[in-house]
Structure 1
Amino acid sequence: MEWRDEGIILGLRKHGETSVIAEVMTRAHGRHMGIVRGGRSKRLQPVLQPGNSVDLVWRARLDEHLGQYQVELLNARAGHLMQSAIGLHGVQTMAALLRLLPERDSHPRLHDAFAIILDSFDAPEQAGALYVRFELAVLEDLGFGLDLSACAATGVRSDLVYVSPKSGRAVSSGAGAPWADRLLALPGFLTDRDVPCSDAGALAEAFRLTGYFLDRHVFEPRGIARPVSRESFCAAAVRALPERGESPARAVEAIT
């Protein structure tokens, strides 16, 4: 068995004295493991760093075997990612989310989004909003997608400002007003891509929204905690934006 694909390094673990088992988010073959012979060498260590894009050739006698990787570097991001809190915690958090997916299931959209977001960390004001959409995409691919297209009560497609914590559907301002204290806030940038995420409060609301449904549908049923790196990333991303009604410090306190 043999295939060739591109992928992004998620993590490594030692294998024998000189090799590693590389966990890679590939474009066509999903989250996939493979042995890299000599992966702890001076030549390959800089290549096999989380966040780097690589060209892969995977070989095994049978498809169900672990197999071996031949690896070539395509995009060396890791060194740059380590230079900021957003980059460092962001790559760790997205890797943790991708590990929620079944191994070897193809999710090309998530692979491509992963690469785009990693490259966006040079622009902290954009990174948080892109990452929230990544969490929404992960929820959707796991079968728990939110419906933010129309009001669950009236069917209208405008003035959507809440999300029902029970159904995961959007609710308009008028329909949700009597139960506002029971509903989750829906920031405008999540329903209209022409609306920028321009303040800390809106981003904090978005993190609270996706965090709630990740806890409810994914982390709690599996008996696992949110990644610690998510809290660190969210805090760094919120602090990168200007204040709205609440200060970034208060927004950070609300999501951690």
Structure 2
Amino acid sequence: MEWDDDSIVLAVRRHGETGAVASLLTRAHGRHAGLVHGGQGKANRPILQPGNAVRAKWNARLPEQLGNFKLELLHAYAAAFLDDAARLAALGSACALVEAALPERQPHPACHAALAALLHALEAESWPSVYVHFELALLRDLGFGLDLTACAATGQTDDLAWVSPKTGRAVSRAAGEPYRDKLFALPAFLIDGGEGDSTAIRQGLEMTGFFLQRHVLAPRHAELPAARGRMISKLE
């Protein structure tokens, strides 16, 4: 059994004295682990950094075995952000979320595309807005997408200003005003596109964090990554 696939490094752990087990998000094979012989050596350590884009070749005698990876570095995103604490924390948070959220060996091409888009966008000033969209895409890919298209109470599609924590659906400004203390603010950039300011980014992250914790992480007895908190603190 073997395959080749474009992949993103999610997590790495030591294996024995010289090896490492890498967890990758692959384009066609989902979240997939494999043994990297010599993974702790000088040649492989720079490759095995969370967030790096790699070309992975996996092989095993039987499909249910852990198998072995041979990796070719395509883009060293992690090294590019070593001097930028906020971007590095965003990279770490995104990889940790995917590692915690996705089942093993089930294809999630939409999640791979969203993570790849985020890694590319980290080089731009608009990356915080893209990060919020990434978390929304992760929720959507796992079957917990938010409905931000119309008001849950009235059906209107304009002047949407809130999101219900109970239903994950948008609520219009007028319909939600009496209950605003119980609703999430809906940042305009998630409806209209473009880039959100710092307040809108925090509002978006508060909303996505709530739904990720409730629907994705809590059932797995996991918490939001510490790197996510570091990222938010750097944005303030």
Partner residue in 2 for 1:221: 219
Q: Distance in 2 between matches of 1:40 and 1:184?
A: 45
Paired amino acid for 1:51:
G
Partner residue in 2 for 1:108: 109
Spell out, residue by residue over 1:139-195, the C-alpha distance to the aligned partner (whole angstroms, 9 max, x if none): 1222211100111111111100001111110001121122222211001111122x4
Paired amino acid for 1:108:
P
Paired amino acid for 1:181:
D
Q: Distance in 1 between matches of 2:84 and 2:128?
A: 14
Partner residue in 1 for 2:205: 207
Partner residue in 1 for 2:57: 57
Partner residue in 2 for 1:246: none
Compute the displacement of 1:216 (Å).
2.1
Spell out, residue by residue over 1:30-78, the C-alpha distance to the aligned partner (whole angstroms, 9 max, x if none): 1100111122222222122211111111101111110011111111222
Q: Distance in 1 between matches of 2:170 and 2:217?
A: 22
Compute the displacement of 1:222 (Å).
3.1
Q: Call closer, same or farther: CA 1:104–1:86 in 2, change over 3 Å.
A: same
Partner residue in 2 for 1:252: none
Partner residue in 2 for 1:166: 166
Q: Distance in 2 between matches of 1:73 and 1:158?
A: 46
Name the TM-score, length of structure 2 as normaliser. Answer: 0.94
Mean alpha-carbon deviation: is it higher for 23-32 or for 9-18? Answer: 9-18
Partner residue in 2 for 1:13: 13
Question: SS state of the match for residue 130, structure 2?
Answer: helix
Alignment of 1:59-98 (within 5 A): 59-98=59-98
Paired amino acid for 1:109:
A
Q: Distance in 2 between matches of 1:76 and 1:143?
A: 31
Spell out, residue by residue over 1:79-112, the C-alpha distance to the aligned partner (whole angstroms, 9 max, x if none): 1122211222112111111121101111112212
Spell out, residue by residue over 1:112-150, the C-alpha distance to the aligned partner (whole angstroms, 9 max, x if none): 221221222233x41111111111111122221110011
Partner residue in 2 for 1:192: 192
Equivalent position to 1:232, from 207, 212, 230: 230
Alignment of 1:15-54 (within 5 A): 15-54=15-54
* Bigger relative contact order (CA 8 A; separation at least 6): 2
Partner residue in 2 for 1:119: 120
Mean alpha-carbon deviation: is it higher for 67-76 or for 221-230? Answer: 221-230
Q: RMSD in angstroms over aligned alpha carbons?
A: 1.4
Q: Distance in 1 between matches of 2:207 and 2:76?
A: 33
Partner residue in 1 for 2:175: 175
Compute the displacement of 1:235 (Å).
2.3
Name the TM-score, length of structure 1 as normaliser. Answer: 0.87
Q: Percent identity, please.
A: 49
Question: SS state of the match for residue 148, structure 1?
Answer: coil
Question: SS state of the match for residue 107, structure 2?
Answer: coil
Q: Does the CA contact (< 8 Å) of 2:11 and 2:96 recur in 1?
A: no
Q: Distance in 2 between matches of 1:16 and 1:221?
A: 31
Q: Distance in 1 between matches of 2:187 and 2:77?
A: 31
Instruction: Structure 2: state its 5+ residue gaps.
Output: none
Q: Which consecutive segments of 4 or more residues in structure 1 shift more than 6 A?
A: none
Compute the displacement of 1:215 (Å).
2.3
Q: How many residues align?
A: 235
Instruction: Structure 1: state its 5+ residue gaps.
Output: 240-256
